[in-house]
Amino acid sequence: MVGTSPVASAARVLLRPTRWLIYAALTASALFFLVPLVVVLLNSVRTAQEIGLGSLIGWPSVLAWDNYVQAWSSYCIAQRCEGIRMYMANSLAMVIPATIVSTALGALAGYSISLWRFRGDNIVFAVVIMGVFLPDQMKLIPWALVLRQFGLSNTVGALVLIHTIQGLSFTTLFCRNYFVAIPQDLMKAARVDGAGYFRIFWRIVLPLSPPILVVTVIWQFTGIWNEFLYGVTFTTGPQQPVTAALIAISVTAPTDVPQYGIQSAAVLLAALPTLLVYFFGGQYFLRGLTAGAIK
Amino acid sequence: MAALSVRGVHKRFGPVEVLKGIDLTVENGEFAVLLGPSGCGKSTLLAVIAGLERPSAGTIEIGDRVVNDIEPKDRDIAMVFQSYALYPAMTVRRNITFGMECRGVPKQAQSEAVARVAGLLQIDGLLERKPAQLSGGQRQRVAMGRALVRDPLLFLFDEPLSNLDAKLRVDMRTEIKQLHQRIGTTIVYVTHDQIEAMTMASRIAVMDRGEIQQFDSPETVYNRPANLFVARFLGTPPMNTVPARLAQDGESLVAIVGAGQPGQATLPLPPQSASARAYLDREVVLGIRPECISDGAKRAADIPATRIEAEVEVSEPTGAETIVLIRIAGVRLRARIAPDIKLPTGRPARFSVDTRTICLFDPQTERLIA
């Protein structure tokens, strides 16, 4: 290895044929996975006639931005011609409180389990994270009973309740695993200083937590926004979140021309919030997942 | 008045008994050091005193008040941790004022207290920094500042210097001792470093396996160890503890090392050993510090030295002195000689032994006899 500079050896690695193979394979698979998105993107600015006369795959001849306007406010979904506006509002009304409450409770639960050791704390933790492994279908009937009992059937509030409680398993797991890295000496020092349960949480633990809170919020937001099964099972008509409403979009009266352009625009609008969250928070997400030690 | 009384304290974690009946009384203004190897229970004892752990049995009194059922914050204590335990998200100033904030001390009094402590510890320039921006020594000072600002009845130090590098540790050691002389508050200080214990303590509690082996002044603990554990724990190298036979020589007692072997050494015992007469003609364990065995040429006029001859096995120069492993009639001892003396290994040499501080231990109970 005499006389080999790091730059030169890095360049040699880059030029190796196996490297090229790896890059080629990665590029090919990236293109493959992006094709559906590209098709939807292109169709969202093509007119229905253009798609109907030509092929489903093709370049737009004119940019039909009107598709987005219609999808947002006037397209007919299940006999209501108000676009996806209302369903987007439902989704936001569901995702915002459910994300905030499940993250806050998960942080508090994770804090209790990791830093206030109590008798049976590990058992409590094991039971809580069992929720991570239970399939959603299994929980449909219990939830139906609970919602009827509480008089919450077919309300956005029902979905808030479901996602808050089911989110607790994940948020508790995330926060607990982050908080165990906080040294016990900090807790002891705070206790000698006279701080109690909530003051320690608020003044000492929370200021250390932005990385894991960002992770948890992104996880909850995207998970709850994209959730479909509970939305379609427990709400109907004007109460549905946008994911459930989109299914009605594909139902077109047989006499009509299929409105692929508007439907594509609606799908993209519905995906926009999670895409934005990913663009702005994605870097924190990756960083937060690997962050462990607090020094 | 006793600043701290620990009476019959036991602490069990499941089946493991970490503290087995601790009795300890620390007088007002004392600097008490809990010293022992890792796992001896010293840190647990400190946590019990602080109220961070509950004793399984026994009582804790701080300033003549039983505090068993009192929260750490109300025990009138302040604590410094080995890891410093500074709150990472707070500035140095907030770290120092956090305790006062919890107790609802007015803002004006808080900033006065910070100014006083910052001046005392020379951390004025660091007050607006975060702990991550401080060096190890600076963090240590801030941790002390957080404790000092409280002006408590009792300071608890849990190995506060063990995360510092060697040079800084020596400086901080001196500073803590000076600080104690200046403020005069009672300190209970946990360490596994015997130099720290010897240099700072007014009394040292040597602990092993959940029990206090001896609680006395550094000189007594060093010169008159209560048992073989203490004798072998203190000193680098520690006290030589070798089998010997007690015999009568005229009016006085002598100890014979390597009795019956060729080259046996007869050491006259000091007057305080008279109480060991019951062990006459029996085996005892003889304890003698390495510094009491020096090279034969060295002889101060006022020290009645006994001359012996021994074979040199290994010679270890440390710079300030040389540690020599010698053999007397098959029995190995360590001696401490001047660094300029070069003794050839594998050859016999003459040594002079200062027998005034010889200790005798019972080989069964391992306790100090005389």
CATH number of the domain to which B147 belongs: 3.40.50.300
In this structure, are B223 and B246 located in the same domain? no
Choose, out of A119, A193, A295, the residue to mutate when testing the contact with B (most B CBs < 10 Å). A193
Q: Which residue on chain B is closest to A198 by alpha carbon?
A: B102
The per-residue pLDDT for A230 is 93
Residue B334 lies in a domain: yes
In this structure, the answer to whether residues B168 and B255 fall within a common structural domain is no
Angle at Cα B111 formed by Cα B106 and Cα B115, nearest 5°?
Answer: 150
Least confident of A6-10, A53-57, A222-226, B24-28: A6-10
Buried-exposed string B274-284: b where 16+ CB fall within 10 A, e elsewhere:
eebeebeeeeb
Cis preceding-peptide flag for A207 (omega within 30 of 0): no
Percent of chain B with pLDDT over 70: 98
Residues B187 and B325 in one domain: no
Residue B368 lies in a domain: no
Query: For A133-151, what is each residue's pLDDT tens digit?
Result: 988 889 999 999 999 999 9
Please name the residue of chain B whose CA is at the shortest distance from the CA of residue A185. B85
pLDDT over 60 at A5, yes or no? no
Ranking B121-125, B155-159, B324-328 by mean pLDDT, the lowest is B121-125
Write out the residue range of the structural domain in which residue B24 sits: 2-233
Taking contacts as CB-CB distances below 8 angstroms, the residues of chain B near A186 are 85, 87-88
Q: Looking at the structure, do residues B269 and B227 belong to the same domain, yes or no?
A: no
Tell whether B117 and B199 lie within a shared domain.
yes
Q: Measure the CA–CA gap between B66 and B4, rounded to whole angstroms.
A: 10
Among B72, B87, B132, the residue with its CB nearest the CB of A192 is B72
* Chain B nearest C-alpha distance from A199 (Å): 8
Among A210-224, A236-250, B4-18, B59-73, the least confident range:
A236-250
Please check the confidence at residue A8 and state whether its pLDDT lies above 80: no
Q: How confident is the model at residue A292 (pLDDT cuts 50, 70, 90)?
A: very low
Q: How many domains are contained in chain B?
A: 2
pLDDT digits (tens, 9 = 90+) for A154-202: 999 999 999 999 999 999 999 999 999 899 999 999 999 999 999 999 9
**pLDDT category of residue B263 using cuts at 50, 70 and 90:** confident
Residue of B nearest to A196 (CA): B102
DSSP state string for B114-136:
HHHHHHHHT-GGGTTS-GGGS-H
Asked which of A28-37, A101-110, B72-81, B297-306 is least confident by mean pLDDT, the reply is B297-306
Q: Which of A45-59, A133-147, B5-19, B108-122 has the lowest mean pLDDT?
A: A45-59
Are A185 and B78 in contact (CB < 8 Å)?
Answer: no
Q: Where are the alpha helices (DSSP H) in B104-245?
A: 107-121, 136-148, 166-183, 194-200, 218-223, 228-233
| pLDDT cut 70: percent of chain A above it | 89
Most B CBs within 10 Å: which of A192, A199, A203, as the mutation test of the B interface?
Answer: A192
Residue of B nearest to A209 (CA): B89
Alpha helices in B214-254 (DSSP H): 218-223, 228-233
CB B94 within 8 A of CB B129: no
Residue type, A252: T
Rounded distance between C-alpha atoms, residue B227 and residue B229, angstroms: 6
Kindly report the number of other CB atoms within 10 A of residue B106's CB atom: 9
Res A1: pLDDT: 41
Q: Which of B174, B209, B233 is the last residue of a domain?
A: B233
Assign residue B292 the CATH number of its domain: 2.40.50.140
Residues B264, B224: one domain? no
Residues B150 and B100 in one domain: yes
Confidence grade of residue A293 (pLDDT, cut at 50, 70, 90): very low
Strand order from edge to edge, sheet including B359-361: B265-268, B252-257, B240-249, B283-288, B359-361
Domains parsed from chain A with CATH numbers: 6-66 (no CATH), 85-290 (1.10.3720.10)
In the A/B pair of chains, how many CB contacts fall below 8 A? Answer: 66
Q: Which two tokens stand for residue A147?
A: 């919602």
At position B122, the amino acid (one-letter code) is Q
Same domain, yes or no: B54 and B108: yes
| Alpha-carbon distance A50 to nearest alpha carbon in chain B (angstroms) | 59
- List pLDDT tens digits, range B184-221: 999 999 999 999 999 999 999 999 999 999 999 999 99
The Cβ-side half-sphere exposure at B266, using a 13 Å CA radius, reads 8
Is A114 within 8 Å of A176 (Cβ atoms)? yes
Q: At what angle do helices A85-115 and A260-290 cross, to 10 degrees?
A: 10
Indicate the residue among B202, B233, B264 that finishes a domain.
Answer: B233
Q: Which residue of B has its CA nearest to A193?
A: B99
pLDDT at A290 over 70: no
* Cα angle A100-A101-A105, degrees, rounded to a multiple of 5: 120
CB contact A185 to B (< 8 Å): yes
DSSP alpha helix (H) spans, A47-84: 48-53, 66-73
Local confidence band at A286 (pLDDT 50, 70, 90 cut-offs): low
Point out the least confidently predicted range of A137-151, A254-268, B92-106: A254-268
ipTM of this complex:
0.82
Q: Which residues of B22-46 are buried (b: 16+ CB within 10 A; e: fewer)?
A: bebebeeebbbbbbbeeebbbbbbb
Distance from CA of B79 to the nearest CA of A (A): 7
In terms of Cβ atoms closer than 10 Å to its own Cβ (0-12, 13-18, 19+), residue B268 is middle
- Considering the domain architecture, whether residues B255 and B223 belong to the same structural domain is answered as no
Q: Do the Cβ atoms of A193 and B90 come within 8 Å?
A: no
C-alpha torsion B232→B236→B242→B248, nearest 10: -100
Query: What whole-number distance in Å separates Cα of residue B71 and Cα of residue A188?
Result: 12
Q: Which of B207, B233, B259 is the last residue of a domain?
A: B233
Is B369 part of any domain?
Answer: no
Does residue B290 contact residue B320 with C-beta atoms inside 8 Å? no
Residues in chain B whose Cβ is within 8 Å of chain A:
47, 50, 52, 71-74, 77-79, 81-85, 87-90, 98-99, 102-103, 132, 146
Q: For residue A235, count CB atoms less than 10 angstroms from its CB and return exposed for 0-12, middle for 13-18, buried for 19 or more.
A: buried
Exposure b/e, A37-64, CB count within 10 A at least 16 = b: eeebebbbbbbbebbeeeeeeeebeeeb
Give the integer Cα–Cα distance in Å for B36 and B154: 21
Same domain, B44 and B107: yes
pLDDT tens-digit readout, B134-175? 988 899 999 999 998 988 999 999 999 988 888 888 888 998
Average confidence (pLDDT) over A227-254: 84
Contacts of B102 (CB under 8 A, 6+ apart): A193, A194, A195, A199, B73
Average model confidence (pLDDT) for chain A? 86
C-alpha span between B54 and B306 (Å, rounded): 54
**Cβ–Cβ gap A189/B71 under 8 Å:** no
Distance to chain B for A113, nearest Cα, Å: 18
Q: Residue B223: is its pLDDT beyond 80?
A: yes
Same domain, B228 and B244: no
> B24-33, B101-110, B164-173, B211-220: which range is least confident on average?
B164-173
Same domain, B199 and B67: yes
For residue B305, pLDDT over 80 is answered with no
**Lowest mean per-residue pLDDT among A94-103, B141-150, B212-221, B251-260:** B251-260
Q: Tell whether A66 is within 8 A of chain B (Cβ).
A: no
